[in-house]
Amino acid sequence: MKSDRYKLGWEKLKEVDGSAGEKVIESLNDIAPDFADILIGMFGEIYGRKALDLKSREIATIAALTVMGNAAPQLKVHIHAGLNVGCTKEEILEVIMQMSTYGGFPCALNGLFVAKEVFANKN
């Protein structure tokens, strides 16, 4: 039986990421199912907090992943999630471009190319 923390995590994951998030979790089942459970629980704890709405959380996540510069698969998932929770394409692009001043142009360019791919697959 799964904990309330886990149940909240699944609920939030489905609300935010939809099938993209579920695919990430499923991809861990054959290699690290315990990590998938931990990830779901933590997702619920963070995304279930009330101080920020889901759109704000996704904007912050897109910014952070863009500046990291080495997290394209996760950035794809969170750009998709941003669209799911009400971010517009323009808002996502502005966030990524804003990160050029903090992470550099290579990070912003990489983020823009990831966004382009997500937007093309979303249509």
| pLDDT tens per residue across span 71-114 | 999 999 999 999 999 999 999 999 999 999 999 999 999 999 99
Give the residue among 29, 35, 51 at the shortest CA–CA distance from 43. Answer: 35
pTM of the full structure: 0.90
Task: Locate the domains of the chain by residue range.
Answer: 1-51, 53-123
- How far apart are alpha carbons 115 and 58 in whole angstroms? 14
Name the fold adopted by 53-123: AhpD-like (1.20.1290)
Indicate if the alpha-carbon torsion angle 17, 22, 28, 33 is positive or negative: positive
At 3, the pLDDT band (50, 70, 90 cuts) reads: confident
